[in-house]
Amino acid sequence: MLHTYKFYYSRSLLRFVVALISILPFSVFAAITMQDAVKMAIQHDPWLEGSQLQERALRATSKGVNVLPDPMLSMGLLNLPSDGFAFDQEPMTQMKVGLAQTFPRGDSLAIRQQQLDYQADQHPYQREDRKAKIRVTVSQLWLDALKADLTIRLIERDRGLFEQLVDIVKASYSSAQGNTRQQDVISAQLELARLDDRLTAVNSQRDTALMNLSEWLSLEALQAVSATFAENTSLPIVPDLADNIQLLLQRTDNMGLIQLLTQHPAILSIEQSAKAGETAVKLAKQKYKPQWGVNASYAYRDDDPLGKSRANFFSIGITVDIPIFGHTQQDSEVAASRLSAQAIETDKRLLQQRMLSQMLSLYQQEVRFEQRIAGFQLSILPQIQEQADASLSAYTTDDGDFSEVMRARIGQLNAHIDLIHIQIEKLKTRMQLGYFFAGHTNSYDRGEY
């Protein structure tokens, strides 16, 4: 029941946002670039703000942790006689004030402070990694919306041609000229209906992509995105990888790529976590050391009943607890801390291997996309154009079938749509690849989206 409610709520919210975007005039909002959308998403990401607050909390805790515990003040009335409760009756009756101070084991305070500093140092790297992931996510969603928008443009552009073909075949069939059959009329109308259905489906994909962008952008920014698509039909320019990175990828230089990955924010964050783990081992080892304490007291005695003065007492001493019987517990804590630190190092190696595998796979995908784009532009599209022209020419001279004309035109439209999809997927792959080289990419060209 709850799942069904959430489903219909999400669908209703999607329709509301998309409808609101569609009724607002594009002229109200200036067009923005994909880079602008990424910047907006980063500026308004609550996770980044939360990370900053957590870092500040850790640093504040770190400042206060390297402080001795508060001294203990004690006051007492000692050896008061029970037969009369007179303060001056017995010579051992006294008013005592004492002060005691304990000292933590070894360097545990300084080590704990260092551990908190390392934990705080993770957050700047985590924020940089988050920003890199936002760049990928927002650009992917942008490109999904752009792919749908460009597909809509292609379909709407060719829809007029298909309408003309329907009118031509109807006129030809009505006048009984040529070899036009009723089947050709029905086929032409069916293809036009399928084209309309396809247009509806792509519009739905575009609406979904914009809805997904709404997680990262405000309503005004979404309207600006729509204005951008309305004014600009070109593909965005994504940042190129540095020449040395391109060379490493071409050579499949695993060692060189791993060396670059050592500067990735995700890896640097794990390294800070590993340092915190190492300090945890040091902190556990401090429990082998004794804990010292010092105490001092002053005792006041009243004069005796005859008025003779009595000396007051001053005492000073030290305390120490010697960790003799807790070795098993201490050994276990040290071993657990050491194993946790080793596990973090293992996580680091696994992350490096996974990132290396992903980047090499993405690079190969990008190379294949480039090959396919070249094949479409140099071979497939020209040949499809020739085929479409030839089929239309044959039909107009009563030497061809109308169904061939429709298939050729549909094939031509599909080829242009396929090319757009391949180009978009190549750009998405480049953005994914750029994540692994955060800080090593060239900047965006201004004015492009």
- Which residues have C-beta within 8 Å of that of residue 121, sequence separation ≥ 6? 272, 275
This prediction has a pTM of 0.79
C-alpha closest to that of 278 among 100, 118, 438, 105: 118
Q: CB of 388 within 8 A of CB of 338?
A: no
Q: How does DSSP classify residue 69?
A: P
> 95-109, 141-155, 388-402 — which is least confidently predicted?
388-402
User: How many other CB atoms are there within 10 angstroms of residue 135's CB atom?
Assistant: 24
Q: What domains lie within the chain, and their CATH numbers?
A: 2-68+118-289+327-435 (1.20.1600.10)
Q: For residue 97, give the H/E element and its range.
A: strand 94-103
Q: In the predicted model, what is the mean pLDDT of residues 177-203?
A: 80
What is the distance between the alpha carbons of residues 173 and 418, in angstroms, rounded to a whole number?
33
What residues pair up with 103 in beta bridges, in sequence order?
292
> What does the block give as tokens for 358?
């992903």
What is the distance between the alpha carbons of residues 77 and 68, in angstroms, rounded to a whole number?
29
- Tens of pLDDT, residue by residue over 368-380, are 999 999 999 999 9
Write down the pLDDT at residue 417: 95
Write down the pLDDT at residue 175: 65
User: How many other CB atoms are there within 10 angstroms of residue 229's CB atom?
Assistant: 22
Q: For residue 315, give the H/E element and its range.
A: strand 313-321
Average pLDDT of the chain, as a whole number: 83
Q: What percent of the chain shows pLDDT beyond 70?
A: 86
pLDDT band, residue 218 (cuts 50/70/90): confident
Q: In the predicted model, what is the mean pLDDT of residues 363-369?
A: 95
- Tens of pLDDT, residue by residue over 252-307, are 899 999 999 999 999 999 999 999 988 888 888 888 888 899 999 999 988 877 77
